[in-house]
Amino acid sequence: MSANDTIDPSRRDFLYVATGTAGVIGAAALAWPFIDQMRPDASTLAASSVEVDVSSLTPGMSLTVKWRGKPVFIRNRTPEEVKAAQDVALAELKDPVARNANLASDAEATDIDRSAGEGKENWIIMVGVCTHLGCVPLGQQGDFGGWFCPCHGSHYDTAGRIRKGPAPENLHVPAFAFISDTTIRIG
């Protein structure tokens, strides 16, 4: 090539763009397996919701199921337990927020807002993890007849509301729905 020869700038620009494009495609092809492996596997997606048959739970009985790796307490409360929870004034509560994924985040911790709702006030469904340090409370124990976390002494009432001890929040209520009179879908 001599000093008088000219190089076609459009061909050089094309080569730069083509080389850059090939590099980007190669980097994306190399990165995709690493990105793809971060997706949840099929067993995790299958566990995102669970259906529970509660037809055998008579008033006063509880059932614990596993959902997303956590225990979920399902209790068919007795009329006395429902009445005791309804009689508690909101001013007496340590945490006045319902913590119910089915309601607005600022819903008050009334018994009805903690339960399965009108007509199903006897049903309470809660994530069974103490809001203090993540222990699993024991059912139908403690000073208020609800749940008691023996690790640090948190006492919950029959609606799962923190009443005494170091736990800062009520037991959380997951998203759930009755899909029939005897079947609950959690998640």
Active site residues: 152
Q: In a 3-state reduction of DSSP, which class is residue 97?
A: strand
Instruction: Choose among 76, 61, 70, 68: nearest CA to 46.
Output: 68
Measured distance CA(6)–CA(28) in Å, rounded? 36
Q: Kind of pairing, strands 145-149 and 183-186?
A: unpaired
Query: Residue 102 burial by CB count (10 A; 0-12/13-18/19+): exposed, middle or buried?
Result: middle
The torsion defined by the Cα of 95, 99, 105 and 111, in degrees rounded to 10, comes to -80
